[in-house]
Every structure is written in structure tokens, then in C-alpha cells.
Structure 1
Amino acid sequence: MTSAKFSRSLTSTEHFFRTRSITQFYSNFQMATTYSQPVNDLSLLYRALRKTLIDYPILLTNVFDRDGADGAYSIFKVIEQPLKFSDVVFVRPGASEEQSPDKELRAIAGDIPRVSEKFMKEIYKTRFTLNLEDQILLQVHVVDQFTLCFVFEHIYADGLPGVFFNELFIENLAYISDSKNDEDYAQKYGYLGGCDRDIHSDAILFDFKTDQGLIVNSLPPPIDNYLPPLHLDYANGDPNFFDKQVPLSVSSDRLKKWPGLFPKAGNFSLVQKLVNITTEDTDRIVANCRSHQVSLTSFLKVVHSLTLYPLFGDEYYTTQRVAVNLRRHLYKLKADDLPLDDEILPYLNDPKLKFWGCCAHAGLPEPMAPIKSFSWEIVQKIHGHLQETIVNNKLNHTFTDFKEHKDAGRDVEFFTRGLKKPRPDAVKISNLGLVKTPVYEVGPEATPWTIEDVVFTQDTGVLGADFVLSMLSTRKGGLNIVETYIDHYEPDEESAAKYKHLTGDNLDWISVNFRKNILENYHPPAPSFLSKDYLSLSGKMVIVTSGNSSVDLEAVKLLGVTGAKIYIFFRNEASTLQAIEDIKKTIKNADMHFVKVDLSDLIAIKPASEELLARESRLDLAIHNAGTYDDPTENQPSSRESKLRLPVTSE
């Protein structure tokens, strides 16, 4: 019998998101993911989704009010009625049509991308119902042959679990696709109602009565248990903390706060504008940011403010936020300091286990003066404030006001009191960083499983910001930025006329100019140190760990023109050999070789070293790139194991 826990109470911060949802002040967030293989096979989806839900039972919960406990906090609880496959998975028109797996070939063929602004606007209208024993807070839409859209309720997941879900789901799709795993799957996850190869609308995806014994993991504990109490001030009583400093005008007068686009009332709808920056351009921009010792997020925040200058004007300052991930504070915990039965220990001891929950914070409001022209000094100032925010473990202090309302039984009033007033902020940015998914080989003839592209978008929320930037990048799809704002507002005839110039397509110029400003103005200058200036390493032997993407790939390219003999140590053979082949197309005499090894596996390192020693008698240079680096301003968790151990053990 399983010892997993199937329910737990919400904390005050989680109850904030619950109340926001029931007042319909927030709808959902969504991630549309494009894969390298077809995903419109319902049998494949059924089994991959069932495995994902059973491995992470928080996905099988709904939020329930406590019976007879007026004012008490609600609970997460695994639903007890059978969950139908058709209540989670929705097949959209045209999803069964065959397409080319190549994005460029699809464009040439005239296929219209189904993850369009119209599509995102339609999915935004999805709202989840709480207190239902046969419904969960997740939907999966089959968009086309290669694309799925995952829709999440924010109560139990912020954007980063959306990334987790993508990483888990691609792994599970590859696992299901390999017939060698059928017996293991049947033993751990079972089959229901003839669903092995025959999926129908009434197929049961999960039934608590028969499946609870398959659940191994408990619901994750709330992160609030491991953060300082809410009453502790994030500013430590400092009246000059950066979020309290009102910018001055050129004449040293205090600026007025921007009144916002629209008041928080009336009938309105949102628009989502997608801005894509290619992988090549993103790499150049990131390199330029690193040369100035700033994050991509702070750079884009300044460029976006510059873009909106015609809207903000000279006489106002704006407040803008960057969401931060509070999970990073979990990794500072030491297992030895915790009780042996502490619920957080599995997540500290197993780096593969994902810590689910709503652990993002909207960030602190940064007052910003009008930006008329770009400067790296402004970016560096913004970056410094972001650094202060991400290391601050007292940010939940900002929920104190809500907790007081909730404890007094006035949690709904907390949200409704702000109607007919401007939104608190002009801009909110959520940058989920790079979705890091390996390439999964499933056979010599089959196309490897990988993620080609992801588009992330979210609601602005009635009490949120006028503009919300949702960012995420993949190695193939590049950087996708979705800008969400109100495009239709009609509270009454007089107000509709007043705001007409800000609705419809009258703000389309923002996304166009934003992309233009990113690409045209801020690329690094042409390098002055060229390949002809490199020292010759002819006759020298070099090893590079990882070496098939990003910074490590650039190192391999630079070494390729020096005449050195290069060995790339990495776990993925197909992608590395492809990288070597691509390099040799431009560097004809590049002397490059591959040694397969997973540097996170201590046992695998020795045979890889022995293979190298059997082929070579010397080593002149070793460049260690294996490991991870997480931009601290992006919503990615730190992993001390992969950050610190890999470069050392790979020696």
C-alpha cells in the first residue's frame, strides 16, 4: 500500500492565487510546444500523460473548500472520481492533417502556424472550475500533428513547472515510443478500459480507487514552510530601498506615476503579440549582455521601456516588475539540518525530482524614469536591482496585506477594492529562460524525440500590469516573447470614445518596434580579433566537454581553425556528430573527434578516459563546459550538483 500523501492545506500565498481565480481576475497560463515527431496519436498521448500524472500527483488535484470551516484555508486533494481522457485532452480541428516535420518546409508549403495570436486569445478564455472531484487543473490541446498546448491553472503551478512539464513529457513520449519499455510501463502504470491501442472519449485516464497504489510521490510541501515568516520586511526597514525611490524629471521635480492604459473595470479583452528572435540573433544578444555583465532580462526590460516611450511620455514614471523564482532558496537548505522525515528531503536528495507548486514571485516594483535612448549604464542599474531581488528570501512579505484580509474573512474584498483604479504596474516580465531538453534516441530508423519550439503566454490579471512579457527560448526555435495587453475596452459609451486610440490595432506598432529595437541597435560591434590572428595549435591535442551547443560550440569552432586535434566529450552522439559535420562544412581541415560519455555519471568517466588514452599519448589543453549556468534573473532553479560537480569530476 502506498504511503504517499494525497492532500494538504493551501498556504496564505497559495490562497491568494486561489481567490484571484474564483473572482475571475486571472484565467490561466499556456505553453504551446512543437515536437520533432507527431504527437496526434491519442494512444501515445494517453500513456505519456497517464505516466506524467501518476509520477506527479499534484497534477491530479483540484482545490477544495473545507466543509463547515468558514474562513479556513482550502486544500489541494487528488480527485476521487474517475478522470476521463476527453476531459483533459482536446483535439482541435485539423489536428489529424499530415504535415512536414520541418518548420521551414511547412512555411514553404503555405501551412499557416496554428499557434497564432488568434489561437492564444482563444485559449486565454479557458477557466478552470474548483471543487470538482472529476476535473483537474490542466488541459492538453492537440493543435496539429506536431504541436500540443498545455494550459495550467496558476494556483499549483507557476511558469517554471510549465517548463518542468515539457521536460518530463518529452522524456515520457520517448519512453512510451520505445517498445522495450512496454512491460515496465504495464507494471508501474497499467492500462485501463482497453486504452492500450484504442482510445475513445470515455476512456478513463485515472481512477483513484484502482490507481492510488501506483502513486509513489506525495504532494510537494509548500515552499512557504522553508522561507522566512511573512511579517519580516523584505526591505529590512530601509526607506531608501530601490522600490521606494520616485524618479526625478530633468528639472529635479518628482515625476507623477503613469496612470495606465485603462482603469480596472468594464468589458475588455486581451491580445497576445508574438515576437520571435532567432537562435543566432539570441546568441549574439546574450553574448553582448555577458560582455556588459548583465542579464538578457534586464537588457530586454530597458529596450521594451524605450519602445514604450511614445506611450509613457516625459512627465510620468512607471513601475515595472520582473518575476523571480523562489525555488532557488530551497537549494540553500542543508539536508543534515532538517528532520529525517521532512517532506522537502526527496527534492534535495534527488536532482531529477521536480519541485512543483506556485513558487514564483511577481518581483518588486521598480520605479523607472522615461527612457528616450538606450544605454548600457541603465541596463546595469536595472540588473543590479534584479540581483538584489533574486537573493531576497523575504519577498513573500508583500502578501501580508492579503493574509490580513483572508484571516478576517475578506479575501475577495482584497481584489474587488481596486476596481476602477489604474493597474498597479505598467509592465511585468516573466522570463523562463532556456528549455533544456536532450535529444532522445528511440531506434536507428526513428526520428529522435526533441522539442523544436515553445511559446509561453499568460493572462495580465485584473490587478496585474498593463503589459505582460512572457519569454522562453529553445535551441531550435530561438527566443519567443509574447506581449499581452488589452486591445478592446468598452465600459460605457463615453469611456469607449476616450480610449478608442488605444484599442484594436492601434497598438500593433509596439511589438513591431520592440523587435526592431532588439535586433537593429544593440548587436555587439564587429570583432577586431579575427581567426587570422589566432595562434597555431598544430600538433596539439585538446579535449572539450559538451561542445555541441552555445558557448562550448563556439569554443570548438574557434579551436577548429588553429590546427589542433579536438576531442569532444558528450553524452549525445547524434547531435555532436551533426555539429562536427556542420563545422567541417566551413572549416575544411578541422580535425575533430567524438567520445561518448555522460559526465554526470562517475562510473562512465573512467572508460571514456581509457578510450582517449588508447588513441592518444598526450593532452595539451582541456576546456570544461559541461554543467549548467542559470541566469539568476530568469525563472530557472539552481542545481548545485550539475553546476559544481560536473566540471570537477570530468577532469
Structure 2
Amino acid sequence: MTQSSSQNISLSRPLSVSENFFRSRTASGNYRNFQVTATYRPGLKNNLKLVYYALRKTVLDYHILITNVQFSTSIDSYVYQPLSKVDFSSVFELVKNKEYITDNEKFMKFVNQITFKLYCESPLFKLILVGDDQLCAVLEHTIADGLVARYIHEILLENLAYCDNASNWDTLQREYGFEIVGSPLDSELFNFERDQKYIKNPLPPPIDLFLSMDKDYTGGDPGFSERVIPPDTEGKWLGRFPATDTHEIAFKLINFTANETKKILGKCKVEKVSVTSYIEVIMALTLQPVIKDKYASYKCAMALRRHMDAKNAPKEYVSMLSRSGYKILGTSAHMGFGMNLPPIKGFSWDLVRHINNHIVEGCKNKRALNQLKGFKQVADLNDETNEVFFKKQLNKPKADAVKISNLGFVHPTEYHAKSGQIWSITNMVFAQDMAPYASEFMLNVISTAEGGLNLTLSYYDYSFEDCEWENFDHLIENLRSNMIEYSL
């Protein structure tokens, strides 16, 4: 594996089994990207040179962002490999369509058309600036999971303030090879031959080092959530349509103001539950007219990096995992453990508490990667796409009715630059593509103190032949009103 010339840092490494799953999913076309758009104060359009500097520092601190996946014949494995060079314009785009500023769904659909190419010299992430202050981070899933899109904004914000301090320029020149640039859009952001000596940290560790893939994640428990079938129901809801290879998806943004969010979070705190478990019950209640009298499977995605422990890590990762403030990128996403819910016709805090306990226990499960054992058993880890694995899941019922992915509450952070400028993020919105076989509905969640709670509900909108409605606009309205009503 490639080593930094000035430090004993591994700059490339083989992909793990779980990382090969995400690689194959991208390569087979079954998943495109995920996106988090943040609103920056002050705006960025008139500060592009500063954005360039902040991004250069970011990729040298977290160089997985400027890798792609390549096949190494010397070790007979796919590896993360740094790119030879990255131009700023290849990862940063200015979008001039003013409609995208006000039409969230149109913008999210536009971003969801972006596909990243593996096995080449192209980056696997992109930043898109809409208007003056809305910056969208778009990422491919092999190098990152959803939480990383949030992290990138937090890292970039800190680096904007750091690079805005003239007193830090000597350090940036010495430790990061900074040079004064003219037009950022015409500048090279990274050049491996020149910059490898400035790379500060190894690639993040694979989650496979910390969790079992071979041991049954249910522990053989017949009472495990996915095995419990609610009584007195008319069987499992099989979804609206069989799994189809399409990306015709609706993206519906539902915003709760800071004051509304405060009330929702406050009520959940009083009831001693997470907002995610509250949202799951609200979703089940809202979707009951669609699901009717059947039971349905709900999952809440988990980021597994909580299981990464410096005490049990190989020595090359100990410093990284021990360092306060350093964010672990890479992909450690998990789809969550299913819970079969009966038709929900009335709200219950007892049900919220039951689901909350289920989520808490799932986060502790050291056998979570066992869900990928089926892929491990049949996939060829040297195959470019493992397309057969994914295609065989088409024309069948989707795995779940609903998947919820919550990136959490982003605590307010302000950085004061010595120039007198105050850098902050005031809002975040999270959305992602849907894998054809995964779920019928996807709800992506993120919240900030000023911008409030943002829910992005996604579903396939290529047909409504399965129901009595021409669209699901009424579901959006009901979801919002239910979230408010039961938090009072």
C-alpha cells in the first residue's frame, strides 16, 4: 500500500466486505448518492478563494475525499487509492438556476441525477453552491455514509474560519503547502506527487474490524423484533409495487420552525424517548390509509462508528480514534433492524417508548454486520458490479415499508475569524437516493437550532395506479400536522 513519504501513514488500503457491498451497489447502478445542503452565514459566492483554501485543508486532513476505488493486481483486491490530481472545478460547481433556491424538490431531484464513476481518476464527492449561501455536499456511498455529509459541512465551517485568519497563513504554507491562488475555479486543489507529504491522517478503519459478520444478529432469539408478527392483521404489506429499477423519486421537504422543533424535542425529552422513535410512530400513523389493515416493516438506519474503539483497533488507527474533535469519515452505515408494526390508528407514547427501546438495543448489537452475510456468501469481491446479487431482488416485494435516517441535531457553532467575520451554519437539509429493493418510503431527518427540524420524505412517484389518489400531497400535510399535534 502507498505510504506518505514524510510520515508513516498508509494512503491506500483494501476495501472490507461491507465496503465492497457499497462499492458494488454503486457500480451496479442500484444507488446514486446522498446529499446534505447547508446554509452558510456569511454567503460563500463572494468568498470562493476562501472556500478553496478551506476545502484544500479539509481534503489533506481527510484524504478519503480525494480517493477513488481501484483494483490492485498486486494484492488482488479493490483498494482506496488517492487520485493523481483533483481540480477545484471538478468538485465544486456554481449553479445559476434561481429556481433551485426556492424549489427544494426540483433541486433535490437535480442532485439525485448525479452519478459517480468508480475505477477512474474522478472524485467521489461534489460541492454545489446554489445562490449565495446554500452549499450542497453530494457523496458516493463507498467513501462515506450519510453522517459524513453532515461532518463535511462542520469541518468546512471550521476551516473557513481558520483560513480566514491571516495569522494562520504561515502554518498553512508550512504544513499544508498553501500557495496564493488566482481564480479558484481554474486552480488545482490536490496533486498527489506534490501533496502526499502534507496528508495528515490515514484512511478511516473499516467497521468490519470491530463487529462480527458471521454471528447471527438475532442471537437465535425467536422474540427478536423482525420475527415478531403482530396478531390480528391481514398479513404483511408488500408495498405499492414490486421492486423496479427506477430512480423516479419524489422529494418532499417538511420544515418545522425552531420554535416548533423546540416543542417536539422538549416533549420527547419529557417522555424520555428519542425524536427518531417519535417520528417512526407518526409515520406509521400517517401511512395507515396506504398500508390499511396489514402489518409493515419499519427500520431506522444506524451509523456503526460508535463501535469503533481505540482499545481494540490496529495500531495505525489508535491515534485517529483517540483524538478529540477528529471526525471518522468512511462508511459505517447500517440499514437498521426491522420492527413489524400493526396498523396504527391512534397515537401512543407507550408505543414510542417500545420503539425507542428497540432502537437503543439495536445500537448496542455487536453482530450488526451479520445482515451482510448473504452478500459475503455469494458475491465475488473482485467483480466490478456483483450485478446479479442486486438484480435478483427486483420484481419482488421491497424489504420494508419505511426506512428512517436521522443525522441528528447539529449543535449551533460559531467561529470568530480574526478578520471580525463570524462563520456559522443556520440550516441543513438531508436527502438521498432510494435503492429499488429497499423500502417504499424513505424519511431523512436533520435539525439545527436556527433552521429547525427538516424532514425529507421520498417515495416512488412514477405511478399512482395502486391507490385512490393522484399524488401523496395529503400525506405530506398529515405528516406535518401529526408531528405537531401529538407533541403538544
TM-score range, shorter chain: over 0.9
Q: Counterpart amino acid of 1:83? A: V
1:443 positional shift? 3.9
Q: Which stretch shifts more, 408-417 or 383-392?
A: 408-417
How has the CA–CA distance of structure 1 residues 126 and 383 changed in structure 2, closer, same or farther, with 3 Å as cutoff? same
2:317 maps to 1:344: yes
1:213 positional shift? 0.8
Q: Which residue of 2 aligns with 1:515?
A: 480
Q: Which residue of 2 aligns with 1:390?
A: 363
Q: Which residue of 2 aligns with 1:238?
A: 221
1:361 positional shift? 0.8
Contact 2:310 2:317 (8 Å CA) reproduced:
no
Task: List runs of 5+ in structure 2 lacking aligned partners.
Answer: 1-5
- Alignment partners' CA distance in 2, 1:158 and 1:115: 26
Q: Which residue of 1 aligns with 2:167?
A: 180
Match of 2:276 among 286, 297, 300: 297
Contact 1:43 1:199 (8 Å CA) reproduced:
yes
- Alignment partners' CA distance in 2, 1:435 and 1:27: 25
- Alignment partners' CA distance in 1, 2:458 and 2:381: 34
Give me the identity figure in percent. 35
Q: What SS class does the counterpart of residue 32 from structure 2 fall into?
A: coil
Q: Which residue of 2 aligns with 1:327?
A: 305
Q: Which residue of 2 aligns with 1:282?
A: 261
| Aligned residue pairs, count | 480
Residues 166-193 of structure 1 deviation map (CA, whole Å, 9 limit, x = unaligned): 111000011112222222222222246x
Q: Which residue of 2 aligns with 1:130?
A: 118
2:26 maps to 1:21: yes
Q: Which stretch shifts more, 60-69 or 257-266?
A: 60-69
Q: Which residue of 2 aligns with 1:442?
A: 417
Residues 63-91 of structure 1 deviation map (CA, whole Å, 9 limit, x = unaligned): 1133488xx542111112x2111111111
Q: Which residue of 2 aligns with 1:143?
A: 130
Residues 113-163 of structure 1 deviation map (CA, whole Å, 9 limit, x = unaligned): 346110001100101001112x11110111111111110011121111122
Contact 2:412 2:449 (8 Å CA) reproduced:
no
Contact 1:302 1:378 (8 Å CA) reproduced:
yes
- Alignment partners' CA distance in 2, 1:177 and 1:363: 41
Q: Greater Rg, structure 1 or structure 2?
A: 1
Match of 1:206 among 171, 190, 194: 190
Contact 1:289 1:296 (8 Å CA) reproduced:
yes
Contact 1:3 1:216 (8 Å CA) reproduced:
no
How has the CA–CA distance of structure 1 residues 23 and 407 changed in structure 2, closer, same or farther, with 3 Å as cutoff? closer
Q: Which residue of 1 aligns with 2:143?
A: 156
How has the CA–CA distance of structure 1 residues 414 and 124 changed in structure 2, closer, same or farther, with 3 Å as cutoff? same
1:506 positional shift? 1.0
How has the CA–CA distance of structure 1 residues 285 and 64 changed in structure 2, closer, same or farther, with 3 Å as cutoff? same
1:3 positional shift? 2.3
- Alignment partners' CA distance in 2, 1:334 and 1:221: 11
Contact 1:469 1:483 (8 Å CA) reproduced:
yes
Q: Counterpart amino acid of 1:345? A: V
- Alignment partners' CA distance in 2, 1:268 and 1:112: 20
2:69 maps to 1:66: no
2:211 maps to 1:227: yes
Q: Which residue of 1 aligns with 2:436?
A: 462
Residues 448-490 of structure 1 deviation map (CA, whole Å, 9 limit, x = unaligned): 111010101111111211111110111110111101111114x
Q: What SS class does the counterpart of residue 428 from structure 1 fall into?
A: strand
Match of 1:374 among 304, 322, 347: 347
Residues 413-439 of structure 1 deviation map (CA, whole Å, 9 limit, x = unaligned): 211101111211010001111112421
Q: Which residue of 1 aligns with 2:3?
A: none
Q: In angstroms, what is the RMSD of aligned CA positions?
A: 2.1
1:407 positional shift? 4.3
Which structure has the higher relative contact order (CA within 8 Å, separation 6+)? Answer: 2
Task: List runs of 5+ in structure 1 lacking aligned partners.
Answer: 96-110, 490-495, 524-651
How has the CA–CA distance of structure 1 residues 185 and 338 changed in structure 2, closer, same or farther, with 3 Å as cutoff? closer
1:301 positional shift? 0.4
Contact 2:225 2:337 (8 Å CA) reproduced:
no
Q: Which residue of 1 aligns with 2:455?
A: 481
- Alignment partners' CA distance in 1, 2:382 and 2:422: 54
- Alignment partners' CA distance in 1, 2:194 and 2:96: 34
1:38 positional shift? 1.5
TM-score (norm 2): 0.93
Q: Which residue of 2 aligns with 1:564?
A: none
Q: What SS class does the counterpart of residue 428 from structure 2 fall into?
A: strand
Q: Which residue of 2 aligns with 1:77?
A: 81
Superposition misfits of 4+ residues, deviation over 3 angstroms:
66-69, 111-115, 407-411, 498-502
Q: Which residue of 2 aligns with 1:44?
A: 50
Residues 563-613 of structure 1 deviation map (CA, whole Å, 9 limit, x = unaligned): xxxxxxxxxxxxxxxxxxxxxxxxxxxxxxxxxxxxxxxxxxxxxxxxxxx
Contact 1:320 1:368 (8 Å CA) reproduced:
yes
How has the CA–CA distance of structure 1 residues 334 and 200 changed in structure 2, closer, same or farther, with 3 Å as cutoff? closer
How has the CA–CA distance of structure 1 residues 44 and 408 changed in structure 2, closer, same or farther, with 3 Å as cutoff? closer
- Alignment partners' CA distance in 2, 1:65 and 1:500: 46
How has the CA–CA distance of structure 1 residues 451 and 320 changed in structure 2, closer, same or farther, with 3 Å as cutoff? same
How has the CA–CA distance of structure 1 residues 487 and 390 changed in structure 2, closer, same or farther, with 3 Å as cutoff? same
How has the CA–CA distance of structure 1 residues 61 and 397 changed in structure 2, closer, same or farther, with 3 Å as cutoff? same
- Alignment partners' CA distance in 2, 1:384 and 1:221: 29
Match of 1:34 among 25, 28, 39: 39
How has the CA–CA distance of structure 1 residues 364 and 338 changed in structure 2, closer, same or farther, with 3 Å as cutoff? closer
- Alignment partners' CA distance in 2, 1:511 and 1:157: 29
- Alignment partners' CA distance in 1, 2:157 and 2:103: 19
